[in-house]
Structure 1
């Protein structure tokens, strides 16, 4: 309603003021008395002290023909005949207790009869179509004049009015949450996110979700430099309505991808604080680090704890819960505590039964130390370093091996090779490539190893020695007490140097190589000792894993 509109009484309204029985509603009569053709609607509301009461009364009085806008007042007085309201506009006396608009009570115009002359309950509030021929002349009431109270039977219970008001309020709030155009605030969300992260941020859309719980959802958040968050869910959206973004205490992020440098440069992780002092917890689903070559390191779920706008700690784990990582801030880095339980890293053909390690994530490297793990039936202890730059990835490390089951090692790394025993030794590896998939084939590993109490299947050195020069032997097995060798594994294949096999009265030494295609070639010198003499037998090896032939040189 236009608060600047001025209303004036019609002849009907003027007559109603003089005849106090014409308008029995307190609110209608109170406003009608004050309408004088000079005061605006806003001034009437200020004078009476209830804007809603004034606006509702103005609508009913105008609808009933008691008042008209000032521009039409002259025409109404020229006609000089009171304008009667339509039957469907007559209002019951009960409506005087409602401040939410025109009365919903059915018209009582058709019920007015002889008995209505002695009762105000059921008598039309607005004037009937017929006007008294001889109106009584009464002084116009002053603003402080007491208006007759409605009959007790027409009064509503205060508790009922309160419940009705609460119901309407809840209904209105639900309609607002359901149909409010949240998408129109996309630019506001982008500005707020840019201000908080202090880097340009864009989003695809903003919406409200009600299942499984009400949440404000931001889809497709992209951070300049390649970082992205597929979805941000902010629970308890009513808190944002009343408290603003400063009241944000929790959030859920899905599909989070940042480079380590981007992550460590965000407010809250570096020396700056995130301007969200109320933030306590961030839940992440599918969190990973972006490395050169499109490599994604890990996919983790968990929670990050915040205090005063700064990251305090995090507990993250892989989807299969095989790897658990606890993270804490460190100067220009994040310190890690790593635990593994039957963890199988990516596509590698090995599984770590138990794992304990410490690590530090820097902007350009991940350094893991104090590795202590049970793998392939034995124990591995060592360090591992992964670095990255614009040219790709590089990996290096060193480990001490003890009691590895050589049968499990062969099954995982060389299934065609049939060998048994306990492997121990020192292992080192290094390599570099453009991406993660190319890194493993590019590794070069050196092992100074020792195998104890073992068996080589498919090779029978003793039978070759017994047959003598020119003999060829396939199949069989050779048992030994100890086998020492220096192994080198790279893209060209496997080389075993400085081989020394000890099988009691028989020993062998030499070297064996297997190229990338699997072809085996080697030369051994076999010494067979007896109580009488020592026999020297030179042997040539050839074939492929699982089908190795021995030839005794002449």
Structure 2
């Protein structure tokens, strides 16, 4: 419709849909249309709205668009004859006379036509309504007739009654015309995706308090939650103790050994399953004590003669050579056709491997089973994945393989292995280590040994070392960092003790060593020769050398370095030094200075604590 056909004196008011569009920005998106919708208040005319916006064409187009969409409507009562004829006294008088004569019972009711003003500015224009527009048509100001007053006259009561009946019948007819959608239609509407061009459905404004209603999605959700809660409570308070003897009998028949279980319950988090707490499998020293066994059954086999468990997890279990051998026999019995229970996968968590009193703990892993569900090997790894342990039962006993990278023996231990590889076999009470190779203290250590667990703990073997950092080795042994250099050598060692923790203090070893490019801290041999003092004195300093070689003997009481030969340029020295377990030095060195005229050697006595040695020349 042409915006020029809009009467400047028309007054628009918001519909209920327009009031909702004010609150929801998505209903009216265009900025100019929304601005005009905000300015429409039911009192301002079209001309006043155009003055407020400053752009008459945009304002008129926006009004037409809002009216077409049902957001505003025309107020006829505001466009009365009095407002239309406010600029024409003749029009006011003529309209008033027509209103009076229309309800008068005397005289001629014919009213002469009112003469319209000749000016084009004051001439009203009528707006044609297209048939497709859903809003109510309004009359042009020129054709408006005043509404009859119902306050007086014999027909006022009847007219009011008819109007009320028509108003009451209108909602009832609307309700009967629109049938309530069925459940299938609502499901289709719920599943059908909405498009961007589809206009949102306007919900009727409800007066009063909104009543809560249970919809079918909410009902399904509440039903599912209630079912889960009931199942959880049933699993929590189920009398498992009544079925515990049957479970023990079934497990004992399957593994072929006695089984004892303290209690049984169901666990949901972190992994669902049937928990057996404080379990002991077998009897005697070969028995296996397990803190928890988590069983995950195959649901299809619960009603079968043989129940299969998808996974059996052993928690807090101590694995020794005897326990692993017994576990292998148990799994062989479980794999037999007569067993009432079977397992497809066996895992372990927080396990510990032990030989005598030596233990490597806090490891997780799994048992590798053959196609016949027999035990082939057990693979374990530490929590930080720094150490991996593989145990293979065989005819000789239990094959043990240890691989580690950046692994520390214990928390806070000074022994940090850059890499470690150990291969051996446990035969009864002996652990024969065929190969030991480790990178530690910037060097390489190779060894072979036998560990015996009997009435006394015993160890015997030999080792070789290359490029060992003497400073780091001294710090790990607790003798300090006074000795520096790169050490090479070989040792044979053995030890016997009543207990394994006391075994390191009982070690006896002998061998030879060579150090390159190092120094002896706290012992300054050239300065001691220059002073030639018979009084013991702490000189400090150090003695640098290119090579230091000798023999080493380790006893439970001391470290003895004998046949020492030190080369340091123009100085050469020989002798021996003894270091006690209490870090006290005692020794004698013969020093020869080749740069002096006197080529005779000088004797230097060394004594005192390792941190501050005393040097002196002997009395002649």
| TM-score (norm. length: structure 2) | 0.57
Change (3 A) 1:236 1:513: same
Change (3 A) 1:319 1:415: farther
In the alignment, which residue of structure 1 is the partner of 2:367? 304
Distance in 2 separating the partners of 1:178 and 1:316: 33
Give a deviation string over 1:86-128, Cα, whole Å, max 9, x none.
xxxxxxxxxxxxxxxxxxxxxxxxxxxxxxxxxxxxxxxxxxx
- Larger RCO of the pair (alpha carbons < 8 Å, separation 6+): 1
Distance in 2 separating the partners of 1:211 and 1:248: 18
Give a deviation string over 1:309-340, Cα, whole Å, max 9, x none.
31123321123322112333322423233221
Change (3 A) 1:392 1:518: same
Distance in 2 separating the partners of 1:323 and 1:507: 46
CA contact (8 A) 1:279 1:306 kept: no
Distance in 2 separating the partners of 1:314 and 1:266: 11
1:386-401 correspondence to structure 2 within 5 Å: 386-389=451-454, 391-401=455-465
Change (3 A) 1:239 1:221: farther
Change (3 A) 1:194 1:305: same
The CA deviation at 1:178 is: 4.5
Give a deviation string over 1:428-466, Cα, whole Å, max 9, x none.
332233433222222223342111111111100111112
The CA deviation at 1:478 is: 0.3
The CA deviation at 1:500 is: 1.6
In the alignment, which residue of structure 2 is the partner of 1:449? 513
In the alignment, which residue of structure 1 is the partner of 2:111? none
In the alignment, which residue of structure 2 is the partner of 1:208? 266
Instruction: Give the secondary-structure state (helix, strand or coil) at the position aligned to 1:441.
Output: helix
Instruction: Give the secondary-structure state (helix, strand or coil) at the position aligned to 1:189.
Output: helix
Matched, 1:225 2:225: no
In the alignment, which residue of structure 2 is the partner of 1:234? 295
Distance in 2 separating the partners of 1:457 and 1:412: 17
Match of 1:483 among 527, 534, 548: 548
Change (3 A) 1:490 1:298: farther
In the alignment, which residue of structure 2 is the partner of 1:316? 380
The CA deviation at 1:479 is: 0.6
In the alignment, which residue of structure 1 is the partner of 2:611? 546
Matched, 1:186 2:244: yes
In the alignment, which residue of structure 1 is the partner of 2:489? 425
Distance in 2 separating the partners of 1:205 and 1:354: 43
CA contact (8 A) 1:512 1:521 kept: yes
Distance in 2 separating the partners of 1:271 and 1:207: 27
Distance in 2 separating the partners of 1:351 and 1:186: 47
Change (3 A) 1:440 1:246: farther
Matched, 1:376 2:437: no
Larger Rg: 2
Matched, 1:511 2:569: no
In the alignment, which residue of structure 2 is the partner of 1:288? 352
Distance in 1 separating the partners of 2:492 and 2:384: 29
Matched, 1:333 2:391: no
Distance in 2 separating the partners of 1:381 and 1:324: 19
Give a deviation string over 1:354-394, Cα, whole Å, max 9, x none.
123322233323333332221001111222332212x2432
The CA deviation at 1:300 is: 2.2
- Number of aligned residue pairs: give it: 387
Instruction: Give the secondary-structure state (helix, strand or coil) at the position aligned to 1:262.
Output: helix
The CA deviation at 1:469 is: 5.3
How much is the aligned-residue C-alpha RMSD, in angstroms? 3.0
Change (3 A) 1:431 1:272: farther
Distance in 2 separating the partners of 1:424 and 1:219: 53
Distance in 2 separating the partners of 1:371 and 1:343: 15
Distance in 2 separating the partners of 1:220 and 1:383: 39
| TM-score (norm. length: structure 1) | 0.63
Instruction: Give the secondary-structure state (helix, strand or coil) at the position aligned to 1:410.
Output: helix
Change (3 A) 1:295 1:313: closer
Distance in 2 separating the partners of 1:185 and 1:437: 45
Match of 2:308 among 242, 247, 259: 247
Change (3 A) 1:300 1:440: farther
Change (3 A) 1:266 1:327: closer
Distance in 1 separating the partners of 2:229 and 2:560: 79
The CA deviation at 1:487 is: 1.9
Distance in 2 separating the partners of 1:298 and 1:447: 34
Q: Which runs of 5+ in 2 are unaligned?
A: 1-223
The CA deviation at 1:286 is: 2.0
**Larger relative strand fraction:** 1
Distance in 1 separating the partners of 2:531 and 2:265: 84
